[in-house]
A and B are shown apart, each in its own frame.
Chain A
């Protein structure tokens, strides 16, 4: 790519304090992310994928190295956590609106946008439900809506579709793919699914076992828009095989 990177990660490592000298969760790793790029991270459990996203979001300080954004300005972030992480005291509507609310958007505008998201995510009829009444998959869709509603520059997704059933998951792939194409967002997504990463990403990086380093970095040069059938092409198969071999 020729554009300037929106995000530069340099020699990043994260060590969590513990009783014997610290737990190395991540690193050292370096990579660039370009605007509008869709990146997937694959890796075994405990390889530091969540830790990496948290470092990108500025939720934890790197132990060494740096995470730098273009022009040194903090981008607007939409984050979907591994668990849906909804506020139990807010209804579905109110949960989705929180991002706008914190930005100081007007109530009417927030409500209209939230309604739009509810429709998009297939949550109609549950506007006024509380999270305790939602299934895991529905809760996760609320979380995705919440991450998208304020039009973030950078989307950080931590296994967002893990709790969805296969059918909904594949619908969400298409949905996310469309949103990404339409709004041209930069997306960093963590997943366990090779199919998912190949269906969505421009680039897939595979992390090693803890502490996570980049083991493989592949361009996914499959044509877009990617339709279901793409999975049965030989190129898809070749890429999948390569990724499979890299994941321990």
Chain B
């Protein structure tokens, strides 16, 4: 028999005869979460009891029972739990990686072990090179993103508002998408030099199109009835822009920014791989030339971290500005 603790906490207990064992923490009582409850139960229960695993094998335990004994849910608990799961899967991947290195016996310059990469990371951190190059790449990304997004939203807005303009410009826009950025990156480096500028421009270019498309879609999707409202109140062009069009299309705009943010990381690296004296792409290539494969891994992980952080920032923006959705 399963019973919820009578107190305010959310521990679920199992009663077997005279003994009571804490089974786990039940997180939610809402039906849609009861299903998850079962999935998560195991994780919680391992934390709470030290008995053999067999205690936790699925018992005659139905959703309905779980529902009955579940505590009221704090969604935050569930969130932190799923975050914890994500971390767990990463933590599990590392020993697996170490195992592969050990079993395969591959040399360090082909597949370094997690420990090698960690040591290399600390070293690069210590001599300041890692932060320096990450900073350069981040600057390229942010400047490129800023330029690309600004330009794309302005052009996108004009396109959304004017059919003739759209018809006139769309052949160029579509054609520009047919050329892969890697094909024109060398040209841009030749024209703009191997400094930061060429990378910013590559970033901006790669960000431009998805943000443009989303701007057009977003602005076109503003409900016509709301234009009627604004015009009945004699709103000015600027008021319509800032009080109607911008907030109404914000969900789609932020969707564009989300794509753009991820692409901008690719843009910066493509540019740096063509030719650069600094940045994570440079570090990557340097590691490659010097058979310092650990360094390559460090650079790749930094890139992943950059991309994830940018993604996270956009998610935060969405959470802040799109509260009204869902």
Contact = CB atoms under 8 A, between A and B. Distances in A.
A88 B232 CA distance: 18
Given A77-B233, A89-B324, A102-B233, A83 B225 contact: yes
B169 to A, nearest CB: 26
Contacts of A88: 324-325
Contacts of B235: 102
Interface in B203-255: 223, 225-226, 228-235, 239, 243-244, 247-248, 250
Contact of B231 (A58, A76, A130): A58
A199 interface: no
Interface in B142-159: none
Nearest to A74: B234
Interface string A64-89: 00000000001011010101010111
Contacts of B233: 77, 98-99, 102, 150
Contacts, number: 56
Range for the number of chain B residues in contact with chain A: 20 to 34
B239 A81 contact: no
Nearest to B244: A87
B225 A101 contact: no
Contacts of B244: 87
B324 A79 contact: no
A54 interface: yes
A77 B234 CA distance: 8
A57 interface: yes
A171 interface: no
Contacts of A102: 230, 233-235, 239, 243
A184 interface: no
B247 A89 contact: yes
A76 B322 CA distance: 32
Contacts of A83: 225
Given A85-B225, A85-B226, A89-B248, A98 B231 contact: no
Contacts of A77: 232-234
A242 interface: no
Contacts of A58: 231-232
Given A57-B232, A59-B231, A101-B243, A130 B324 contact: yes
Interface of A: 54, 57-59, 74, 76-77, 79, 81, 83, 85, 87-91, 98-99, 101-102, 130-132, 150, 156
Interface of B: 223, 225-226, 228-235, 239, 243-244, 247-248, 250, 322-325
4 tightest A-B CB contacts, nearest first: A79-B232, A130-B324, A89-B324, A89-B247
14 contacts: A58-B231, A59-B231, A76-B234, A77-B232, A79-B232, A81-B229, A83-B225, A85-B229, A87-B226, A88-B325, A90-B324, A102-B243, A130-B323, A156-B232
Given A77-B233, A87-B226, A102-B233, 18 more contacts: A59-B228, A76-B234, A77-B234, A79-B232, A81-B228, A81-B229, A85-B226, A87-B244, A89-B248, A89-B322, A91-B324, A98-B233, A102-B234, A130-B323, A130-B324, A131-B324, A132-B324, A150-B233
